[in-house]
């Protein structure tokens, strides 16, 4: 009787305390989540605001852009800005867009194949100095691109590649970039070695294992590398600016800069923002369509943000 009474008494007195503890923990959890969400919303607004301003400006009339006080949203939408900017005299936006797409199509296979092949070697092959070579590959990420511009310019000049697409395409077929090698290697390290051993027992060589086993399994990482490469080429300004001089060979980023120089005194901000919006839309659509593959590729590779 005494033990039963003590147990029931302790239960009666512990119930309010546990409820209070749960309530306090719930409030703390709600407060922490609210703080995190607030920071995320503020960060999102900071990144999205320039995009909103660009799209809004591209839809304004020239008179409204130069009016005072300035307006955040257009009073009257002018969609003709996109057509007029695209067909502006002495511009070649269709040609520049085609050049950019051509470079992407010619470069992406080289990046994917060469980076995955190098990554397979670092992940699965054993050879003297493997770790040292991989550290050197990672160390190349610390070198600014400007450091190698002069040697590359001299090399491409001697090869006769200046003002051609070769400097923008050929190097991608020899390694594919240190960050892509690192990403693919981290993904390959997650694949069980039993698959290699089973394939070797069946008589497969390393190239067969890489082609028929690792590449199909590494689809998320391959898609991530592909999308990062496309984004880098689409937004690249420095390399085309250094190696290209003929306007007929310009990419879309160089064409946009040339288009901006057409208005040295009377800036047509509406046209410039319209072309900038057209330049951004494909990348946004591509990212939204393949977002889950990008996240899966980075998370599976052990790279978590």
* pLDDT tens profile 61-110: 888 888 888 888 888 888 888 998 898 888 889 999 999 999 999 999 99
Q: How far apart are CA 305 and CA 300, in angstroms?
A: 12
Q: Is the pLDDT of residue 3 over 70?
A: no
pLDDT on residue 10: 47
Among 225, 213, 223, which residue's Cα sits nearest to residue 188? 213
Residue 63 lies in a domain: no
d(CA 167, CA 162): 7
Which of 263 and 201 is assigned the larger pLDDT? 201
Work out the average pLDDT over 193-217.
89
In the numeric block, the tokens 């069946």 are attached to: 202
What was the pLDDT predicted at 15?
58
- Tell me: do 287 and 170 sit in the same domain: yes
Q: Are residues 160 and 95 in the same domain?
A: yes
Residues 94 and 157 placed together within one structural domain of the fold: yes
- Going by C-alpha positions, the residue among 98, 101, 102, 91 that lies closest to residue 255 is 91
DSSP category for residue 174: T
Q: Is the pTM of this model over 0.85?
A: no
Average per-residue pLDDT in the chain?
A: 85
Query: How does pLDDT run across 164-194, given as a tens digit for each residue?
Result: 999 999 999 998 888 999 989 988 988 888 8
Q: Do 171 and 254 belong together in one domain?
A: yes
**What's the confidence (pLDDT) of residue 268?**
80
Query: DSSP string of 157-208?
Result: HHHT-TTSSHHHHGGGGTT--HHHHHHHHHHHTTS-HHHHHHHHHTT--HHH
Range of the domain at 39: 2-58
Residue 68 counted as domain residue = no
Looking at the fold, whether 7 and 87 belong to one and the same domain comes out as: no
The Cα 45–Cα 8 span in angstroms is 55
Half-sphere exposure of 226 (CA within 13 A, CB side): 17
Average pLDDT over residues 247-254: 91
The verdict on 49 and 87 lying in the same domain is no
Q: Has residue 73 been placed in a domain?
A: no
Q: Looking at the structure, do residues 42 and 135 belong to the same domain, yes or no?
A: no
Angstrom distance (rounded) from CA 250 to CA 214: 37
C-alpha to C-alpha distances, 255 to 36, 212, 232, 241, 260, nearest whole angstrom? 41, 41, 16, 10, 9
Query: How many domains does one find in the chain?
Result: 2
Q: Give dist(CA 34, CA 167) in Å, integer.
A: 50
Distance CA 246, CA 165 (A): 11
pLDDT category at 2 given cuts 50, 70, 90 is very low
Asked if residue 189 lies in contact with residue 123, where contact means CB atoms within 8 angstroms, the answer is yes
Q: Are 235 and 282 in contact (CB under 8 A)?
A: no
Within its chain, how far is the Cα of 59 from the centroid?
A: 27
Q: Inform me whether the pLDDT recorded for 13 exceeds 50.
A: no
């Amino acid at each position: 009787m005494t033990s039963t009474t003590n147990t029931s008494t302790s239960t009666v007195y512990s119930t309010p305390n546990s409820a209070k503890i749960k309530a306090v923990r719930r409030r703390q959890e709600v407060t922490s989540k609210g703080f995190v969400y607030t920071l995320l919303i503020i960060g999102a607004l900071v990144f999205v605001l320039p995009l909103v301003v660009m799209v809004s400006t591209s839809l304004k009339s020239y008179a409204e852009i130069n009016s005072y006080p300035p307006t955040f949203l257009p009073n009257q939408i002018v969609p003709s800005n996109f057509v007029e900017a695209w067909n502006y005299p002495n511009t070649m936006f269709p040609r520049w867009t085609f050049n950019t797409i051509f470079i992407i199509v010619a470069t992406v296979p080289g990046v994917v194949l060469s980076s995955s092949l190098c990554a397979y070697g670092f992940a699965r092959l054993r050879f003297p100095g493997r770790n040292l070579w991989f550290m050197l590959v990672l160390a190349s990420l610390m070198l600014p691109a400007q450091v190698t511009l002069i040697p590359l310019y001299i090399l491409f000049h001697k090869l006769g590649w200046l003002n051609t697409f070769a400097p923008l395409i050929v190097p991608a077929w020899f390694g594919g970039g240190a960050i892509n090698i690192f990403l693919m290697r981290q993904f390959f390290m997650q694949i069980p070695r039993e698959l290699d051993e089973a394939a070797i027992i069946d008589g497969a060589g390393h190239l067969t294992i890489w082609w028929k086993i690792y590449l199909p399994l590494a689809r998320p990482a391959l898609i991530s590398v592909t999308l990062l490469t496309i984004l880098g080429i689409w937004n690249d300004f420095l390399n085309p600016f250094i190696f290209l001089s003929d306007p007929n060979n310009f990419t879309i980023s160089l064409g946009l800069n040339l288009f901006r120089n057409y208005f040295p005194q009377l800036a047509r901000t509406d046209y410039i923002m319209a072309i900038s919006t057209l330049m951004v839309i494909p990348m946004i659509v591509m990212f939204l369509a393949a977002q889950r593959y990008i996240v899966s590729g980075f998370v599976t590779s052990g790279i978590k943000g």
